[in-house]
Chains A and B, each alone.
Chain A
Amino acid sequence: MISRFKQTWAFVYRDYQLTRRYWSWVVVFTVYAVVSGASVALIGVASNDRKLTLTLTIGVLFWSVLSVLFNEIAMSIAFERWEGTLEYTFMAPVSRLIHLTGVSLYAAAYSTLRAIAVLGGLFLFLDLDFTGANLFGLLIVLVVSSLAFVGLGLIAAILPVMSPERGAEATNIFQSILLLVSGVYYPISVLPKWVQPFAALSPATYALNASRKLLGVETMTPDGKLIGQPLASVQSELVTLAALGLLLVPLGLWVFGMAERWAKRTGKLKRTG
């Protein structure tokens, strides 16, 4: 048990040290996230529409957490290919469950800190007031939806295992499709009819629906006061998110195991891409 804890810690330790050593890039990405987030949210300010501003802000914040969480997990294998360490990780006596749990734990902590930094940055550009919002409920939604995004990240992480040349590119396309179909900045109804069914497959759709209800965007008073809905009002979204998490995490581990065995048969682990 202690040995497994140390093995899990190995991935947290490694990723923390890499973040520390690449600190200037972390600053660049965070500043970029703040500026692009503020640029999106300011569209609501320009329209003099508080409801739109908050809709966009919650989209920026949730996407900030979930996309980074997804990206850190999905790209963990691609990073190892670039560094040339993939074979050493795969020949260590560590189960894939422990490996991916370690990667996911660090990704969760990193994405949360990044989102807090983005929120802090948004306060510099926007007059944000969350009085009346159900912030505890938002936290619950974030935690539950994180599980589903971990599962999606695990599934996407197989792409760099299977294709040294194109895996990382495919992972980014996958992430951009999630952004498109999930209604991060707009209602699903504005998407073309043929795209709308895909929204139902994305955990972000449910997370954003729930978070906007809990924030009170839909039930705002005429003078702009937020009336955050109770957690019970988002029960169906929470159940769906939990079900997606419980389905996607084991599915992700299973397909990752399949991809690993395939890569070992075909010699795909060797090449660094």
Chain B
Amino acid sequence: MSCLAIRVSQVKKVFRKRTGWWRGQSTEEWALKGVSFHLKQGEAYGLLGPNGSGKSTLIRVLSTLLVPDGGEVEVLGYKLPEQEAQVRERIGRVSVDAAFYKKLSARENLLYSAFLYGFDKAEAEKRAREILGRLGFPLRRFSDPLEEASRGMQQKVAIARALLLQPPLLLLDEPTTGLDPKSKREVQEFIEELRRESGTTILLTTHDMFEAERLCDRIGMLAHGSLVAEGSAEDLVRLAGGGTLEDAFIKLSGEKLTGEEEATAEGA
């Protein structure tokens, strides 16, 4: 078993779209253009990138929801897509949209997830209450339909769903987007606590530079499907010639983007 939690090597993903219903033309959009990176077990790695840079595609590949068109992916020592069953048992994912049955309550949604992973009802309910309590979710709303809950509360339930399973690897796809500052801080504190107590490996995508700096040991910057820079927050700032991480993000991804577009244009 590898000591790497994630090993991604030259991963490519292209989406093809056909226009017109009969003999229409097919267009290609490269979401990932040979991305390589790795995460050690227990590490927190941040993926930064503008919208459409390939962050969510990468998370979907790692979540077994997308099959890459090229390259190699290993999660917790298991190869994807060949060993997806083993990977599924060991990962938790939180996406930017809190995907739930909105008519069902937090309790019903979480019990459904717990049953899917083979948990007992009593054990799952106890753990769900404990996690939600620590996340600052008002437990009096535990049995109310989620459609009546705020976005922040829904996102806390989404985080609880991922943590309920006690996975060694957490894939967090913009987990705090749209949360108010208090909720955001509660979630960030919980993620820190989780790392301290359980040594959970975390892959986090975010647009929040402060969050990336606070939570991540290393940060990768994605732009147009390519990893354009990687290192600690300090490394990236130094690489960009000083300033803040946001300055580094704009400079590194922006410069590389222009360069890539030019290169593509020349190649064409």
Residue positions of A touching B, CB distance < 8 A:
2-4, 6-7, 9-10, 13-14, 17-18, 21-22, 83-85, 87-94, 261, 264-267, 269-270
Contacts and interface: CB of A to CB of B under 8 A. Distances in A.
Pick the 6 closest A-B CB pairs, nearest first. Answer: A10-B115, A3-B118, A21-B103, A93-B88, A84-B99, A92-B116
A169 B229 CA distance: 45
Contacts, number: 92
B111 A13 contact: yes
A270 to B, nearest CB: 7
Given A10-B112, A87-B60, A88-B93, 14 more contacts: A3-B118, A6-B115, A6-B119, A7-B118, A10-B113, A14-B108, A17-B112, A21-B145, A83-B102, A88-B113, A91-B63, A93-B85, A264-B81, A270-B66
A22 B145 CA distance: 11
Interface of B is mostly: loop
A83 B100 CA distance: 7
B16 A266 contact: yes
Contacts of A10: 112-113, 115-116
B250 interface: no
B15 interface: yes
B246 interface: no
A84 B119 CA distance: 23
A91 B115 contact: no
Contact of A87 (B99, B113, B116): B99
Given A3-B118, A7-B118, A21-B104, A83 B99 contact: yes
Nearest to B111: A13
Contacts of B66: 264-265, 267, 269-270
Tier of interface size on chain B: 35 or more
Contacts of B111: 13
B67 A85 contact: no
Nearest to B60: A270
B92 to A, nearest CB: 10
B65 A87 contact: yes
Contacts of A89: 116
B247 interface: no
Given A21-B104, A85-B101, A13 B112 contact: yes
Given A10-B115, A10-B116, A18 B67 contact: no
B64 interface: yes
B67 A94 contact: no
Contact of B116 (A7, A22, A269): A7
